[in-house]
Each structure stands twice: as structure tokens, then as C-alpha cells.
Amino acid sequence: MKALPRISLVSSLLLALLAGCASTGSKRVSEPATSIQQLAIDAQGQWQVELRLQNYSSVAMRFDEVALALSIEGKEAGQLQATPALTVAPESAEILSITLTPSLPAKLQAADALATGRGFGYHLKGTVKASVENGKPRSYSLQRNSALSPAPGLPGVLR
């Protein structure tokens, strides 16, 4: 009979310990990230850049300003600049569409990649200004190296 009160006491202590370890719902603000989800080249040579804004925070973030230098295989392509005023849900992403008139070397690099059916590397470097709900905007320095490849069946599109 003495074992039953001990088991109850141990169970109560374990339950209290487990409750103490439970998440308090604290806010975690992480540095956002950017990448190119898609690059579409129109007949006039303009680039439609689908920029992915990634929010790794546990709270929504409002993206107010994007200023990124884009280079293709080491050749400066141009500046991706926008003031989207876009809110991204916690641990989610949204797409921002930016039109770019690329430099001639970048145009040639992209045209060659599309003509030969191969991809190319790209580099993004710059800042993104974002804030949490009711928070002060903060400027985040970002860099990203990645690659784009021609999308099968979609002429002039790289992903």
C-alpha cells in the first residue's frame, strides 16, 4: 500500500517538471534570407526576377525594403530594388516580383545558358529592411550563392 502514494508523488513531480519545460511561446527573430525562385527573360531582354523572401522567425515579419546586387557567373547584372511593404507569416516565404534591365554581359551569359540548355551560378549581396509586428525596422545584410537552370518546357525561364 505504501508504493501507491510514492508512485503518485513521483508522477506529480514528473508532471510538474514536464510543465516547467513546456514552451512559453517566446518570440524568436531570425535573420531572413533571399533567393531567386525564377528568372524569366522576355523578348525585349527584360528580366522578371521572382525573389523569394524567407522568414525563419517564429513571428511575422514585414519586409519594407530590398536592395540587392545581382551578379551572374561573376558578371554584374544589376540592382534588385523594391519597397514591397510585404508581410511574411512565421516560418514562411513570399515571392516578390522585380523587373530588371540587366547589364549586357549578364544578358549574354543568360542567352548563352538558354541556347545551350545549361544553367549558371548567381550571387546576391545587399540588404533587406524588415521588422517584426509593432517593432522597429532593422537592416539585415544578406549574401546568397546559388544556381539557376533552364525550366523544361518553359522558353526563356530559369529556375
Q: What is the structure's pLDDT at 134?
A: 82
Cell numbers for 149, please give them: 537552370
Main-chain dihedrals φ then ψ at residue 107, nearest 5 degrees? -60, -45
Give the contacts of 141 (CB within 8 A, at least 6 positions apart): 126, 127
The span from the CA of 55 to the CA of 131, in Å, is: 11
Q: What is the structure's pLDDT at 49?
A: 99
User: Which of 17-21, 90-94, 105-109, 130-134 is least confident?
Assistant: 17-21
pLDDT digits (tens, 9 = 90+) for 31-67: 999 999 999 999 899 999 999 999 999 999 999 999 9
Main-chain dihedrals φ then ψ at residue 24, nearest 5 degrees? -95, 0
pLDDT digits (tens, 9 = 90+) for 106-149: 999 999 999 999 999 999 999 999 999 888 999 999 999 999 99
∠ CA(40), CA(42), CA(45), 5° rounding? 105
- CB-based contact 53:63 (threshold 8 Å): yes
Ordered domains of the chain (ranges, CATH): 33-133 (2.60.40.1820)
Q: What is the structure's pLDDT at 59?
A: 96
Q: Is the pLDDT of residue 100 over 60?
A: yes
How confident is residue 2, by pLDDT bands cut at 50, 70 and 90?
A: low
Whose grid coordinates read 525563419? 56
Cell numbers for 107, please give them: 544578358
Q: Is the dihedral of CA 76, 82, 84, 85 positive or negative?
A: positive
How confident is residue 3, by pLDDT bands cut at 50, 70 and 90?
A: low
Give the contacts of 86 (CB within 8 A, at least 6 positions apart): 53, 62, 63, 94, 96
